[in-house]
Structure 1
Amino acid sequence: MLKSRLVADRDFPVAPLDRRVFGTFVEHMGRSVYGGIYEPGHPTADENGFRGDVMELTKELGPTIVRYPGGNFLSGYNWEDGVGPKDKRPVKKDLAWGEIETNQFGTNEFMNWCKIADVEPMFAVNLGTRGPDEARNLLEYCNHPGGTYWSDLRREHGYEEPHDIKFWCLGNEMDGPWQICQKTAYEYGRAAKETAKVMRWDCDGLELAACGSSFRDMPTYGAWEYEVLDLTFDQVDYISLHQYFRKEDTGDDWLSFSTTIDKLDNFITEVTSIADAVAAKRRSKKRIMLSLDEWNVWYKTHHGEHLRRPGWPTAPKLIEEVYNFEDALIVGGALITMMNHADRLKAGCLAQLVNVIGPIMTETGGPAWRQTIFHPFALSSRFGHGTVLRTQVETGTFEACGETAPYLVACVIYDAETGQSAIFALNRHETEEMEFEAVLKGLGNREIIEAHELHHADMEAINDKDTPDRVQPAAHSHVSVDGEALKATLKPLSWNVFVTRTA
């Protein structure tokens, strides 16, 4: 049996965990909005047209913040099209995804949905076809109490009180050739700087995120981050990261694919270093934080008709990835990695929430169900409260894709207010059980509250409409606590969470 040992100490914290790492993403793409969160006429729809079954699953999933309205859609979107009387909203082509946008769902509908779902909004401004002027107008529409043209227009639209949106993304993936109005780092950095400047003049207390490279393998990666932050350093709080986990980047075998978790760890460390290099150039104590505002497994529907369908359809099925158990392990491992970077990673958005590479899947007019990746996210959000502790891990390793990677991927979080701690642990070994010990120093004698394992004998197992619970967590039966030490047997290829409190 493989043996692994973890030691964490209350006196050696990483940082308090920002709960916004448990965010998701809703883009005007495919059936994310129309047929996803919004479907008037659905048997469960409320008076707003919001699907009640999706709302219930969203609350169970536990996202804390939701990014909107894009995505690639953002770079060609006029926000004014999505407000005001619905019968007067224009129907337009969306060039990003080759579909028709009816604009029946927009800014105010999304804010209504956020309030019911009890999530914070993360809004994005178009820096593709538009710029600082349109961004400041949207901000005034959303956040100013009244007495000006745009704030009074919001009130005319039935929203007397301001939305008070604090977190704003300055554009999306602006170095990508697929982006409407692709920009160089200098072009984007100048636009982002001036947009941030006028937004801060317009409204206090904003948190602003500049675009990083579209992904780590972009030719622009690294140099883009440095130049953009060099231009925007004084105006922004975050630099964004996007990471999709794809088998074509690693290989089909499990251990190779699982190194995408380690590559995410490298990615976060690298961007942190670049941001700190920009600060060092200025002799500045300011630290730019990171926002991983798009991430997920995505490779099965990354081609052809999954990305675009002919004939300008309305709400077509696009990139509706059907997730298996293997994908759930990757998502669980990524969440552990994100939590371990709590000192600099302050926001994250699983892309997306529903249908479009989402943890929730629906049938238009029919049921909604949990995909396999739903479960590690829901358990992480549920138990991810408190301060992440530094861990010393002893475990076996393997070699794959240029990485020397540990079989055990783990994280420890301690909540001083409740005395509760959570240990998240992924056993990546394909055949061997893991004899696992976690010693929590300085937390006193522990007792088990809950223990869950996500495991399935078939890595290809999926959840679908007919068998929505084929892959789901089960109670962990091989765990015990003795003083400060927790001992458990982890099944091969299993993701686990152990929750303890002061005895």
Structure 2
Amino acid sequence: MLNASLHLDPARIVAPVSRRTFGSFVEHMGRCVYGGIYEPAHPCADADGFRSDVLALVREMGVSLVRYPGGNFVSGYRWEDGIGPAAGRPVRRDLAWHSLETNEVGVDEFMRWAGKAGVEVMYALNLGTRGVQEALDVHEYLNHPDRTRLAELRRANGAEKPYGISMFCLGNEMDGPWQTGHKTAREYGRLAAETARALRAAQPEAELIACGSSSSSMPTFGAWEAEVLELAYDQVDYISAHAYYEPLDGDLDSFLASAVDMDHFIDSVVATADSVGARLKSKKRINISFDEWNVWYLSRYEASRSAITEWEVAPRVIEDSYNVADAVVVGSLLIALLRHSDRVTAACQAQLVNVIAPIRSEPGGAAWRQTTFHPFALTSRLSRGDVLDVQIDSPVYETARFGAVPVVDAVATHDDGALSVFVVNRHRTESVSFTFPAAGPVTEAWVLGDDDLTATNTQDAPDRITPRPLDVAAGDGTVRVTLPPVSWSAIRLG
């Protein structure tokens, strides 16, 4: 058996745990909205057409923040299509996902859903086919209290009070050639700065997110962030980061080490942003909104995309079924996000329901938790107080993509004398004896893993993979657990 240990000191604090780290993403894509959160004909639908079984799972998952309405979708979206009487709303083409958008759910319906789910909304603005005026218009509709035309229109549509949205994305993935309205860094940086200045005139305290690179593998990565921030540094608060991971060519060892790439991505963006700030002689610090991240079998989707020829409403798109290894990687990515809580203060797992999602549902049928639901739910529930600056002693293993990688990765949070430790064993065959110092009683200990790494949860077997109790030995100020191969664990001490 391998051995690893965690060294921690409650006085060594990285940053407070940001509840916004546990965000998600609802895009008008596939069956995320229609057939996901919204299905009026479903037996569990409430008076507004929202599935109460899905809502219950969203609450159980501990989602704090939801980015809406896109994604690639937003770069061609006309927000005004989705307000007013539903019968008069137009059907539009969604060029991003080659589907039809009925606009049956728009901003008012979604804000009602968000209220029921108890989540904050991060609203994405269309800077692909639109610009400053449209951003001001939707902001006026969402947030202005009264007397203006759009505020009174919102009130006439049933929302007496402003929605009070504070976070706005200034477009989506504008560095990507696939994006409707794709721009160069200079074109986008100027538009983002102009839009931000206008929004600040309306809402000085708004938190504004500039588009960073849609992937660290983009040829413009680094240079894009630098040029955009040179133009918009003083007007924005965040730069975004997006990353998706999958096992390429059967390389499970590298896949299990995906968080190494996320760590490097974050550190690179932080260094770039701070370099720009130093050149501008600014005392302001730009944080990161990691507002798209997940496991996504992207190569599988790209191979099938050319076969999509029909224009359908809510087609089944990238409804990946997640296995044990995928869940362990999701748990490890959450560890990386928490570790960087001093700079990553908002994050959104993409997406929430059906589309590369931790929650799946069937029309007229059941909703269930995918394997990836569980590490998110436990981390959201047990992360409290401050993230600690920990040191890990671990053996390493070799990977094709990242070289030598620690077998064990971990993070800890501390609040009012209670400690939570989240730890992953990346080794495919070896268990690890893992120890760390702690004096309190163990109140919870869970492990997620299975001998069959390909096992999934399905409609017929929704609980095939669930966290199971983890045996913990505690005494003399030391906690010892055995981490199975390819597993993610959470331990809470009171």
Do the structures match in fold with TM over 0.5? yes
CA contact (8 A) 1:264 1:337 kept: yes
> Once the 2 structures are TM-superposed, how far is the Cα of residue 368 of structure 1 from its aligned partner?
0.7
Q: Pick from 418, 421, 427: which aligns with 1:420? A: 418
For 1:343 and 1:431, the matched residues in 2 are separated by: 34
For 2:306 and 2:61, the matched residues in 1 are separated by: 26
In the alignment, what sits opposite 2:274?
A: 276
Deviates more, 1:50-59 or 1:307-316: 307-316
What's the Cα RMSD here? 1.2
Counterpart secondary structure, 1:461:
coil
In the alignment, what sits opposite 1:35?
A: 35
For 2:183 and 2:11, the matched residues in 1 are separated by: 46
> Once the 2 structures are TM-superposed, how far is the Cα of residue 298 of structure 1 from its aligned partner?
0.7
Amino acid at match of 1:197: R
Amino acid at match of 2:170: L
CA contact (8 A) 2:137 2:150 kept: yes
> Once the 2 structures are TM-superposed, how far is the Cα of residue 306 of structure 1 from its aligned partner?
5.5
Question: Quick one: structure 1 residues 332 and 390, their matched pair in 2 at CA, closer, same or farther if it must change by over 3 Å?
Answer: same
Structure 1 gaps of 5+ residues are none
Question: Quick one: structure 1 residues 328 and 241, their matched pair in 2 at CA, closer, same or farther if it must change by over 3 Å?
Answer: same
For 1:182 and 1:200, the matched residues in 2 are separated by: 24
In the alignment, what sits opposite 2:197?
A: 197
CA contact (8 A) 1:309 1:316 kept: no
In the alignment, what sits opposite 2:388?
A: 389
| 2:483 paired with 1:490 | yes
> Once the 2 structures are TM-superposed, how far is the Cα of residue 481 of structure 1 from its aligned partner?
2.1
Q: 1:245-324 to 2 correspondence within 5 Å?
A: 245-248=245-248, 251-299=249-297, 301-305=300-304, 309-324=308-323
CA contact (8 A) 1:306 1:320 kept: no
For 1:308 and 1:224, the matched residues in 2 are separated by: 32
CA contact (8 A) 1:291 1:348 kept: yes
Per-residue CA distance 1:440-486 (angstroms, 9 max, x = gap): 5xxxx311110001011101001101111111100112x12225321
> Once the 2 structures are TM-superposed, how far is the Cα of residue 284 of structure 1 from its aligned partner?
2.0
CA contact (8 A) 1:306 1:319 kept: no
Per-residue CA distance 1:40-78 (angstroms, 9 max, x = gap): 010100000001111111111111000000000000000
Please identify runs of 4+ aligned residues in structure 1 that moved more than 6 A. Answer: none
Structure 2 gaps of 5+ residues are none
Amino acid at match of 2:458: D
In the alignment, what sits opposite 1:118?
A: 118
> Once the 2 structures are TM-superposed, how far is the Cα of residue 308 of structure 1 from its aligned partner?
6.9
For 2:4 and 2:182, the matched residues in 1 are separated by: 47
Amino acid at match of 1:265: D
For 2:95 and 2:426, the matched residues in 1 are separated by: 41
> Once the 2 structures are TM-superposed, how far is the Cα of residue 305 of structure 1 from its aligned partner?
4.0
For 2:468 and 2:5, the matched residues in 1 are separated by: 23
For 2:116 and 2:206, the matched residues in 1 are separated by: 23
For 1:10 and 1:30, the matched residues in 2 are separated by: 45
For 2:224 and 2:27, the matched residues in 1 are separated by: 25
| 2:467 paired with 1:473 | yes
In the alignment, what sits opposite 2:93?
A: 93
CA contact (8 A) 2:17 2:387 kept: yes
For 1:5 and 1:119, the matched residues in 2 are separated by: 36
For 2:205 and 2:418, the matched residues in 1 are separated by: 32
Amino acid at match of 1:449: T
For 1:44 and 1:305, the matched residues in 2 are separated by: 33
Counterpart secondary structure, 2:392:
strand
CA contact (8 A) 2:397 2:427 kept: no
For 2:314 and 2:243, the matched residues in 1 are separated by: 25
For 1:285 and 1:490, the matched residues in 2 are separated by: 44
CA contact (8 A) 1:27 1:352 kept: yes
Amino acid at match of 2:43: P
In the alignment, what sits opposite 2:71?
A: 71
Counterpart secondary structure, 2:8:
strand
Query: How many equivalent residue pairs?
Result: 492
In the alignment, what sits opposite 1:448?
A: 442
Deviates more, 1:331-340 or 1:482-491: 482-491
Amino acid at match of 1:275: A
In the alignment, what sits opposite 1:433?
A: 431
For 2:446 and 2:459, the matched residues in 1 are separated by: 24
CA contact (8 A) 1:40 1:49 kept: yes
Amino acid at match of 1:139: H
Per-residue CA distance 1:114-152 (angstroms, 9 max, x = gap): 110000001000000000100011111111110101111
Counterpart secondary structure, 1:274:
helix
Deviates more, 1:427-436 or 1:346-355: 427-436
For 2:191 and 2:251, the matched residues in 1 are separated by: 43
| 2:166 paired with 1:166 | yes
Amino acid at match of 1:433: S
Question: Quick one: structure 1 residues 308 and 119, their matched pair in 2 at CA, closer, same or farther if it must change by over 3 Å?
Answer: farther
CA contact (8 A) 1:167 1:208 kept: yes
| 2:128 paired with 1:128 | yes
For 2:306 and 2:404, the matched residues in 1 are separated by: 34
For 1:226 and 1:404, the matched residues in 2 are separated by: 30
In the alignment, what sits opposite 1:57?
A: 57
For 2:254 and 2:405, the matched residues in 1 are separated by: 10
CA contact (8 A) 1:98 1:308 kept: no
Question: Quick one: structure 1 residues 60 and 307, their matched pair in 2 at CA, closer, same or farther if it must change by over 3 Å?
Answer: farther
Amino acid at match of 2:356: I
Amino acid at match of 1:149: R
Normalised by the size of structure 1, how large is the TM-score? 0.96
Q: 1:155-234 to 2 correspondence within 5 Å?
A: 155-234=155-234
> Once the 2 structures are TM-superposed, how far is the Cα of residue 89 of structure 1 from its aligned partner?
0.8
Deviates more, 1:236-245 or 1:303-312: 303-312
Normalised by the size of structure 2, how large is the TM-score? 0.98
